[in-house]
């Protein structure tokens, strides 16, 4: 149980990346007062939670309809997360996110729904992760409950950080934020390779 909690926590912290989203959130809510930022935060995190819970429970059915095995999705998801890990380790993810956020801000009025809720919070990485983790705990309600609880906990951390985004950004500084992002990227790379190995092993033995 402890191993599952740690694994799920690392994965969701990496793919959702609450610290890395702080500058993006500030850019998207520039000029908004504290009350407006609070409303945006509540709406974005709530929508992201609903989307991820939806995929957690019906994502495997979508795969069945498309004729995709969980093993194939596990390998593909691992490869996707590995690319994401390289971007984080080499500090390419935050600039890309910031640039996308600035472009989206010009076109989208409600930033809570898009791009904050999707694709920044409930993005492909988070969706892939919840599908893989829930699939690994198939038939184990306790394990699946732990995955959902950890996912919700990471969103709660994100919610808290967004509420205190301004002071936290000044406290952490750019250097510390970059260090944390790169360390999480290395951890995600190792977990991604494990996903790929598990998928290949399951397909081979199956």
- Alpha helix positions (H), 29-123: 34-66, 70-89, 93-107
List the structure tokens of 17: 């990346």
- From the number of C-beta atoms within 10 Å of its C-beta (0-12, 13-18, 19+), residue 64 rates as exposed
Give the pLDDT of residue 199: 81
- Domain chopping of the chain, boundaries: 2-201
The tens digit of pLDDT for each residue in 112-126 reads 887 789 877 987 778
Q: Both ends of the chain: CA-CA distance in Å?
A: 26
How many beta carbons lie within 10 A of that of residue 192, not counting itself?
23
List, for residues 133-149, the tens digit of each pLDDT value: 998 898 899 999 999 99
Q: State if pTM tops 0.75.
A: no
Average pLDDT, the chain: 80
Residue 25: C-alpha distances to residues 76, 112, 120 (Å):
29, 10, 10
| Phi, psi of 200, rounded to the nearest 5 degrees | -65, -40
Q: Is pLDDT larger for residue 95 or for residue 6?
A: 6
């Amino acid at each position: 149980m402890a191993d599952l909690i740690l694994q799920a926590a690392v994965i969701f912290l990496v793919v959702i990346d609450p610290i890395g989203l702080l500058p993006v959130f500030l850019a998207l809510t520039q000029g908004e007062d504290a009350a407006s930022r609070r409303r945006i935060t509540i709406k974005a995190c709530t929508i992201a939670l609903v989307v991820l819970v939806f995929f957690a429970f019906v994502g495997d059915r979508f795969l069945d309809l498309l004729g995709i095995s969980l093993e194939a999705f596990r390998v593909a998801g691992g490869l996707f997360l590995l690319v994401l890990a390289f971007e984080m380790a080499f500090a390419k993810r935050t600039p890309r996110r910031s640039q996308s956020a600035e472009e989206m801000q010009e076109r989208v009025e409600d930033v809570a729904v898009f791009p904050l809720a999707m694709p920044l919070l409930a993005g492909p990485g988070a969706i892939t992760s919840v599908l893989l983790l829930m699939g690994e705990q198939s038939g184990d309600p306790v394990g699946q409950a732990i995955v959902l609880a950890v996912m919700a906990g990471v969103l709660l951390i994100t919610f808290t950080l967004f509420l205190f985004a301004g002071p936290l950004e000044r406290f952490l500084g750019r250097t510390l934020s970059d260090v944390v992002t790169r360390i999480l990227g290395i951890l995600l790379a190792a977990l991604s390779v494990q996903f790929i190995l598990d998928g290949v092993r399951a397909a081979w033995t199956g």
